[in-house]
Amino acid sequence: MSANNNDQLNGNSIQQSSAVDFVKMYKDLLKHRKLYYIVLPIAFVLAAVYALAIPNFYKCTVKLSPEMSSSRTNSSLLSLASNFGFNMGKSTGGMGTEALFPTLYPDLVNSTDFKVSLFPVPVTIEGNKKKGIQDRTMSYYEYLEKEQKSPWFSAILAVPGKLVGWFISLFRQKPSDLEDQEKTVDPFRLTKKQAMIIKAINSKVLCDVDKKTMVITIQVTDQNPVIAATMADTVKTRLQKFITDYRTSKVRVDLEHYKKICEETKARYEVARQKYSEFVDANQYIILQTVRQEQVDLENEMQLQYNAYMQAAQQLVNAEAKVQEETPAFTTLQSATVPVRKAGPSRAKMCLMFVFLMFVCTSGWILYKEGDLMALFNSKDEEEPAPSLDATQQAALLQALLNLKSKEEK
């Protein structure tokens, strides 16, 4: 009887330890291996068809290092100090006089006004001289509207939307009015097509700034490698121009003001000089005191106008030098080049991922059908402690141990 109790206890412990039978799961999967032979090839073919339908795209990256002015450097130090809890804004006059920091350049590139400014940029689709295909030049807006390739299945998926749009267009305004709106671009009120083009540009043109090194990275993605490089260089040039215009806006206003003052003082000096010359020529042989006094007054007036003109001219020269001083310099770390290799899509990875996903789904369905999946989850969620022995079982176990010990002694 003690041996039977011992075997029962061992059986309970084995049953508890082998709640998840991985051997059975493997045998169940192996039993349905023919299902894998059917599902996985079909999954690979579907993934290959989907991957081949996606057009290739290329990426062009441009990197710039902007010149850091003293005010911007001070603002960076103040920002660093604020991270450690020091408020130095009042003692140093705030965060500097500039409102456009390098960290705001991505927001500038993503703005609607900047994207709208890219609409008229001319781009060229290269032809094939051997086949007699000529180059075609068009605006970037027209290129995104008419020359973008899409997968073949996207046309099928777009059929319901086109039918709905055709039905709604019956109740809209005349096509001539819509064409007039498409020709004019108003960033304040964009048409539906213009908004879609801007959305496409947002996914193609990206700008990022490294907060540590302040290096500006511009990346343009496009299906045409030449257009990707062209737009990357254009975005770089327009960003430089905008930053330059902002940095020199105040000094250029001062320059125009000093130009106006210089022209006015020069005109007054020329009038005073002309009056003095005419008076001297007309009264050359007259020695009256009143005539001499008037000549002195005209000479003094001419001298005053000359001094004012020279002072305005000096201020104009200083303003021109200030414009040159405030014009930022950019160091091109990586210029725009036409990419040779495509950036994507990675069709091999897509096929492998899809096949692996179908393998996991098929295995899960087989385990669910054989009931192994429920056992796997139950073993994790319902972990019960080992059952405790009652008094009878404890006595039997003790008796078995004593018998075993007496046999060993004999």
Strands 58-66 and 330-334 turn out to be: antiparallel
- Tokens 């994507």 correspond to 344
Question: What is the token pair recorded at 133?
Answer: 């295909």
Nearest to 59 by CA among 302, 228, 280, 213: 228
Inter-CA distances, 39 with 26, 35, 354, 362, 379, Å = 18, 6, 11, 8, 30
Look up residue 88 and give its DSSP letter: -
Length of the chain in residues, anyone? 410
- CA–CA gap between residue 165 and residue 192 (Å, rounded): 12
The pLDDT of residue 173 is: 53
- CA–CA gap between residue 77 and residue 96 (Å, rounded): 11
Going from the first residue of the chain to its last (410 residues), give the mean pLDDT of each consecutive group of 10, the final group possibly shorter: 47 47 82 89 91 90 78 47 46 46 84 91 85 86 89 70 64 53 75 90 92 90 92 92 86 92 93 90 79 87 93 92 86 89 88 93 87 65 52 70 69
The pLDDT of residue 372 is: 73
Q: Are 240 and 133 in contact (CB under 8 A)?
A: no
The pLDDT of residue 161 is: 65
Beta-carbon contacts of 355 under 8 Å, excluding residues fewer than 6 positions away, are 40, 43, 44, 47
Look up residue 111 and give its DSSP letter: S
Beta-carbon contacts of 163 under 8 Å, excluding residues fewer than 6 positions away, are none
Annotate 183-215 with DSSP letters as a single string: HS--TTS--HHHHHHHHHHHHHEEEEE-TTT--
Global pTM value: 0.66
The pLDDT of residue 77 is: 46
* Residue 87 φ/ψ, nearest 5 degrees: -100, 100
- 3-state class (DSSP) for residue 221: strand
